[in-house]
Structure 1
């Protein structure tokens, strides 16, 4: 049986690397798409032709250019495709470093694996593909491995909320009131100050201004 795989990635070199992995075996038929809309239409057409794809390998971030598109991110693509074909297997292959975003992929989008683009990524991707087609299950060890990757920035969504308030000029008193109103804990001024200091240490920030600059550089806020 031939497994159909669609690789959705803006960069041709990534698609080529993935094809080289799959071409080691004669049980894969591989196609590529550079845009989310293009990937969506290919999967929709394959379903209509009664030869659906078994696996989607996609990035999360897609470059924008002159083309007008309806789907602009990996999450939007995955969500749309899951409505078309709920049983399709999905591997996210990305250099994303936000741990809360990766957790959301498993929890809210029910992906099968996340593989970080980096050193040894080809080996890890091959392992993820084999886990899906050989074991034919969602492999929890790959989820844990993804979330423990040394390149990840282990920042929670509530950490982001705190840093955003700081960047908007909120005082400790104002943040405390906002958190109490929203039911976010801890919410006392002293505990929030300790929380900020822990974030500074975690991200090697010298002060609050530096903390905001680092999180902006990482694309967290």
Structure 2
């Protein structure tokens, strides 16, 4: 396997070259410090895998990956970056990276990533997956006020708007306003959908 490293930090490149030299399936490793050097290298040599920093000098790896893939369509490209926020991970996946590693990831992750992408599989390190999963979970979690939870519970119990208003000593208009806010937060279009989602997401007691 021939590997190309694209990063604008000498220490990162040196460290990676030493680490990759310990893999018996890696034939050769070369490195470049800027996008001009990267293009020149790809014009004259063929590589199996490219490790590309998301913030590669003045260039954004997500913006230049399409041009790189046009130059070397069979080469796999793995993001190797310190950017661990979910937005960057998601945008990199959408841009076309075959894998995503953090610079704090260990040797085992790098080895697994290389074997996965060359087997036409996507690879995202455990730390990357954890960040993305936690963000998605937080994104999907419905945050209701105590009053909204109370009203939702009564709706699930098939109480009418009038009955809920009387029980909570509120006006029917106020109950309708709360119900609209609950539906908006839960991204549902009707009472049936709201009740179903409330039960599935464990937002009420049955």
- Segments of 4+ moved more than 6 angstroms: none
- Aligned residue among 44, 56, 62 for 2:50: 56
Q: Which position in structure 2 is the counterpart of 1:112?
A: 98
Q: How many Å apart are 1:95 and its aligned residue?
A: 1.2
Query: In structure 2, how many angstroms separate the alpha carbons of the residues matched to 1:152 and 1:26?
Result: 32
Q: Retained in 2: the 8 A contact 1:98–1:152?
A: no
**After superposition, what is the alpha-carbon deviation per residue over 1:110-146, rounded to whole angstroms, capped at 9, x for unaligned?**
x22101122x43331222113234xx1213xx33846
Partner of 2:60: 73
| 3-state DSSP of counterpart to 1:93 | strand
The CA deviation at 1:148 is 2.3
| Contact preservation (8 Å) 2:62, 2:95 | no
Which position in structure 2 is the counterpart of 1:89? 76
**Contact 1:10 1:63 (C-alpha < 8 Å) held by counterparts:** yes
Partner of 1:165: none
How many angstroms apart in 1 are the aligned matches of 2:130 and 2:106? 12
Alpha-carbon separation, structure 1, partners of 2:4 and 2:107: 17
Corresponding residue pairs, total: 145
Assess if the C-alpha contact under 8 Å between 2:3 and 2:26 holds in 1.
Answer: no
- Return closer, same or farther for 1:131/1:26 CA change in 2, 3 Å cut-off: closer
CA gap of 1:152–1:15, structure 2 versus 1, over 3 A, is farther
Structure 2 residue matching 1:149: 3-state secondary structure: helix
Local SS of the residue matching 1:154: helix
Aligned CA RMSD, in angstroms, stands at 3.3
**Equivalent in 5, 10, 13 of residue 8 of structure 2:** 10
Distance verdict in 2 for CA 1:18–1:152, change over 3 Å: farther
User: In structure 2, what is the Cα distance between the partners aligned to 1:60 and 1:190?
Assistant: 40
1:141-156 to 2 correspondences below 5 Å: 142-143=123-124, 145=126, 147-150=128-131, 154=135
TM-score by structure 2 length?
0.58
Deviation (angstroms), 1:60: 0.5
Which blocks of at least 5 consecutive residues in structure 2 are unaligned?
Answer: 140-179, 187-206
2-structure distance, mates of 1:17, 1:152: 29
Give the equivalent residue in structure 1 for 2:120. 137
Instruction: Give the 3 Å change call, closer, same or farther, for CA 115–60 of structure 1 in structure 2.
Output: same
CA distance in 1, matches of 2:65, 2:127: 18
What's the secondary structure of 1:97's corresponding residue?
coil
